[in-house]
Structure 1
């Protein structure tokens, strides 16, 4: 009888903890105040930076298979991306899942691309390394990167910057809080992705100085990803 009571108490506690994590903690919405610095790009999401890649003439060279990859394969839009930097932020189930405007500016384009089936972003070992050990895992050019559901936003401030929200296997929908023509403030919430997911940030080249590195944990609306060069023009 005592053992049965212990088991029941354990199950109740476990169920309560699971409910709290899934229905309360996961949807937490902490206040985010961007740094009081000018000419910066803040992180669009909480998570770990899983790759940083340069691209030129819309092409990235994958270190894994040495095949050129087009930026448009990731964004799924029809814009031209000349040269710049793309970085990926993996959002684990333990991270805040709201997404934020990396700069102040106007929403110029929103492109939503649906997938027949969302593929898993990581295998079990990669998940353990990322979530529990907080170790660096390179997720660049995996199959999900090109096939899963995504929402691409293009913001125009002093520079044109792209934000690509990519859904993981169990995500039903990417929620977008903005529309074309909206004027956003840096750090403003722009969307929400359930469970594990990824956000890519596309930055103009020769107009930025990166302040982060691969494997670093970043926080949406707070962590400075890059500083913008004040003498550059908004032609990226």
Structure 2
């Protein structure tokens, strides 16, 4: 009789523990949501509750849309490689263009072509942007424009954009946030004079867009078109490594 009593009394306590363990597992595996997404989530939840009460089928559709909004504004932690001269991807997405290009005039980087890497973010990519290197923000330049498809080369010239120039150990590096066909809002978290570590968040673009990185003359990108990039983790270039390789060849 005693074993039966112990089994019956332990069952109720095991169920809450199992439930809490499941909740902790879900919480630990879900990426946090960036604060920029909270207003959209609150609106989505409110509309979902209202429609679930009035028109349940539409309410469930709104629930799915709200869940997608939470997914879009996810802000996962990243492990950033640290090293002199490492240039880290500022955005998640597909590398759509790699090659020399004249930087936007408002960046103040000159009129000569510079090595450029362009990363296209679709609506399913993480849209939080991160600093490619440690450095000081020396220029922020916003320019209104069109909303063409961001994966087109012409988008870098005609689309609405916001440029951020970092003064880093390898020189001036320009990062341009470009609005796209769906994106209508560029958010920049930094001001001129701010310091950012490599991989630290500096901005966000809502609902599909692109980020261009302009590197110092002589930088050789290590990524290719079509490659997937992960913000704060993928190495776009290794300037110090290239300099060491050149010095070794000369010696």
Larger Rg: 2
- Flag the structure with higher helix content: 2
Local SS of the residue matching 2:149: coil
Matched, 1:34 2:63: no
Contact 1:209 1:229 in 2 (8 A): no
After superposition, the C-alpha distances for 1:170-208 in whole angstroms (9 at most, x for unaligned) are: 3332111001111110001010100110000001122x3
| 1:49-128 pair list within 5 angstroms | 49-54=95-100, 60=101, 70-72=102-104, 76-115=106-145, 117-121=146-150
| Aligned with residue 187 of structure 1, among 189, 193, 199 | 199
After superposition, the C-alpha distances for 1:137-185 in whole angstroms (9 at most, x for unaligned) are: xx32x3x331211000110111211100001133332111001111110
Q: TM-score, normalised by structure 1?
A: 0.72
Aligned to 1:126: none
After superposition, the C-alpha distances for 1:111-161 in whole angstroms (9 at most, x for unaligned) are: 00012x423336xxxxxxxxxxxxxxxx32x3x331211000110111211
Contact 2:148 2:180 in 1 (8 A): yes
Paired with 1:192 and 1:183, the residues of 2 have a C-alpha distance of 17
The higher relative CO (CA closer than 8 Å, separation ≥ 6) is in 1
RMSD of equivalent CA atoms: 2.2
- Flag the structure with higher strand content: 1
Paired with 1:40 and 1:119, the residues of 2 have a C-alpha distance of 32
Q: TM-score, normalised by structure 2?
A: 0.68
Structure 1 ranges of 4+ moved more than 3 A: 8-15, 75-79
Q: How many angstroms does 1:11 deviate by?
A: 5.5
